[in-house]
């Protein structure tokens, strides 16, 4: 496996010329995070991730996390040492509030740090990612004592955090959970139940783990309305901040997974464990969505990050591997990079990575606008755009993560299927991203069910109108941009047609809208990717870097001509409705005749 190279130049270009980061740095509270400072910071961070974290990736996959006979959990060799260096360097605290020891940098910068850490080692990066989600929940809903007691050491990374949602009978249907929380006279609660799929639910990288656990109090309403959220530390915390006795939470087992072997995925048992109510009774779903919305953009970024590492490896292999003789070549053989189909796979990866990076950073930039813009109207509009872009980022990012890592493996040919090359690990690791933090089908349902109808559809129409403004810029950029402009126009028309159908049909047949939601979300991903690549191509000549301008034009044109046309092809599926989806029963789907009813 080759050495990971953080794509600093690509990130810096995206910040300055595509997603408008200088405007973010001018917002109140971000004055210290100017572009030059941020580029210097991410250069140092990238070096750390490449030198300290990346070497643990393949060995961590081979060794995996292990549950010891005493019930404790050990991470792979090198994880603990790398994590302690990560905490000492302060990388996790960069985008967190200064009030609790953070750097106060924008979320956009935090997402870049997450990308590089995930490229270095996705399994390792999951621990800080989940801790950030727990921190977000505490910031929004914790009382002053809870914030003072837990946040400084969670922000520093000395303590880590988890999200405990899933139970054996309650996966995506969170309302089916049965974990109980019984109030005690001292104001705490006794929690009893079992949680599954808890990433870093126990480990040896930090001395304390702060679990945020969804549970029901006595007499709570049924379903999601009766869910509360509780803070349950692995060790009770004394009044002086020191760690006290072990709490009643234990690891029953670790899951044996397809990938991310270095990240312990725990089955946790809560047995009369001491917990503290967060926010108030029956607010669990609100708090969960604070955690989930924070995590969903990060999970979309995981698709980008792992695909970036896989692309770097496949590009190096394509230059080294010699086999056959390319047309027009002389000599005994050619590097496989000289063959058209290998070039197609490499350029598909390269253009997709650029599109995803622009999309993820654009969403993050609107998160920063939604929190720090002094204009209430601008904050409200930014929040609407975040609502639209986040399910697209999560689904499109993780779907492309699967597709691009598969392409990277394909470039390796038979050697990609051999574990020692490391190509297969990327595909195995990233596969979970389309599943957790809300499956991609749930993201599509969120887009059409909640986000599409905001202000009667005006919100999404305004975003599409903004995207169409690129046409005039492309027209003025020169004839070499013509095919990009023409293809974007065609695909925007298809997306608009699907959008209007969704808005119209959703009022009378919501099931039909849900039936087409996944291809519809994909249409949005393709179009936003093409739009942002076009923005990059138009902006690049102003840098004075001819090679950069040429490459950005090629990426935008390749996407427009060879990737973007998939959008029109998805229109039929997006507006097909439910007729054929429910036309066959389970026996017919299995190729069997339906049982005769007597």
Residue positions annotated with a catalytic role: 437
List all residues 6 or more positions away from 33 whose beta carbon is below 8 Å from its beta carbon. 24, 25, 104, 105, 106, 109
Residue 304, CA distances (Å) to 48, 60, 223, 368, 556 in order: 19, 21, 35, 21, 17
E strand or H helix that includes residue 288: helix 284-320
E strand or H helix that includes residue 23: helix 21-25
Report whether 334 contacts 322 (CB < 8 A): yes
Mark residue 29 as left, alpha or beta (left: phi above 0; alpha: psi -120 to 50; beta: remaining). Answer: left
> 144-156 vs 122-141: helix axis angle to the nearest 10?
160
How much of the chain is in helix, strand and coil states, percent to nearest 5? 60, 10, 25
DSSP strand E in 220-373: where?
A: 228-233, 235-237, 243-246, 249-254, 265-278
List all residues 6 or more positions away from 21 whose beta carbon is below 8 Å from its beta carbon. 15, 35, 38, 108, 361, 365
Residue 50, CA distances (Å) to 7, 117, 455 in order: 11, 8, 45
Q: How many angstroms separate the CA atoms of 6 and 311, rounded?
A: 12
Measured at the CA of 124, the angle between CA 24 and CA 112, to 5 degrees, comes to 15
Count CA atoms closer than 13 A to 20's CA, side-chain side.
Answer: 13
Report whether 514 contacts 449 (CB < 8 A): yes
């Amino acid at each position: 496996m080759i050495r990971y190279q953080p794509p600093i130049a690509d990130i810096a270009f995206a910040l300055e010329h595509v997603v408008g980061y200088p405007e973010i740095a001018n917002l109140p509270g971000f004055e210290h995070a100017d572009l030059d400072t941020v580029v210097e910071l991410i250069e140092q961070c990238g070096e750390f991730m490449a030198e300290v974290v990346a070497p643990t990736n393949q060995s961590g996959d081979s060794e995996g996390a292990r549950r010891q006979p005493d019930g404790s959990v050990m991470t792979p060799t090198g994880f603990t040492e790398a994590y302690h260096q990560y905490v000492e360097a302060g990388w996790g605290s960069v985008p967190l509030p200064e009030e609790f020891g953070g750097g106060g940098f924008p979320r956009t910068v935090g997402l870049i740090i997450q990308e590089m850490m995930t490229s270095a080692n996705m399994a390792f990066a999951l621990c800080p990612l989940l801790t950030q989600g727990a921190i977000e929940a505490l910031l929004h809903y914790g009382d002053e004592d809870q914030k003072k007691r837990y946040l400084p050491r969670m922000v520093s990374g000395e303590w880590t955090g988890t999200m405990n949602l899933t139970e054996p009978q309650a996966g995506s249907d969170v309302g089916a959970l049965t974990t109980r929380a019984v109030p005690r006279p001292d104001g705490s609660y006794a929690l009893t139940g079992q949680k599954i799929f808890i990433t870093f639910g126990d480990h040896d990288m930090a001395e304390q783990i702060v679990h945020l656990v969804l549970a029901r109090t006595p007499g709570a309403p049924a379903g999601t309305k009766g869910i509360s959220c509780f803070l349950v530390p692995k060790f009770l915390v004394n009044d002086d901040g020191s760690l006290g006795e072990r709490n009643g939470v234990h690891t029953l087992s670790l899951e044996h997974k397809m990938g991310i072997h270095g990240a312990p995925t725990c089955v946790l048992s809560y047995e009369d464990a001491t917990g503290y109510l967060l926010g108030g009774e029956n607010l669990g779903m609100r708090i969960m969505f604070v955690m989930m919305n924070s995590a969903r953009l990060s999970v979309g970024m995981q698709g980008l990050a792992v695909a970036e590492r896989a692309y770097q490896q496949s590009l190096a292999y394509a230059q080294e591997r010699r086999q056959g003789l390319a047309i027009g070549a002389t000599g005994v053989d050619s590097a496989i990079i000289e063959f058209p189909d290998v070039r197609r796979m490499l350029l598909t990866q390269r253009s997709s990575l650029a599109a995803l990076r622009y999309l993820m950073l654009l969403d993050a930039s609107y998160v920063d606008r939604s929190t720090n813009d002094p204009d209430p109207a601008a904050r409200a509009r930014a929040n609407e755009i975040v609502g639209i872009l986040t399910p697209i980022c999560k689904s499109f990012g993780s779907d492309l993560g699967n597709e691009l890592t598969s392409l990277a493996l394909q470039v390796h040919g038979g050697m990609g299927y051999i574990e020692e090359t490391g190509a297969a690990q990327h595909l195995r690791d990233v596969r979970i991203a389309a599943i957790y933090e809300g499956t991609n089908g749930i993201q599509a349902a969120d887009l059409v069910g909640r986000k599409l109808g905001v202000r009667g559809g005006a919100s999404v129409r305004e975003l599409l109108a903004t995207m169409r403004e690129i046409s005039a810029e492309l027209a003025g950029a020169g004839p070499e941009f013509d095919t990009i402009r023409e293809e974007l126009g065609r695909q925007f028309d298809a997306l608009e047609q699907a959008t209007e159908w969704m808005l119209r049909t959703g009022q009378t047949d919501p099931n039909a809208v849900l039936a087409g939601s996944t291809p519809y979300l994909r249409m949005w991903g393709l179009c936003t990717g093409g739009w942002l690549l076009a923005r990059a191509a138009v902006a690049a000549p102003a840098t004075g870097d001819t090679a950069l301008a040429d490459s950005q034009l090629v990426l935008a044109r390749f996407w427009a001509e060879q990737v973007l046309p998939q959008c029109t092809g998805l229109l039929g599926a997006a507006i097909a409705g439910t007729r054929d989806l429910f036309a066959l029963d389970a026996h017919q789907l299995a190729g069997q005749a339906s049982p005769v009813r007597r």
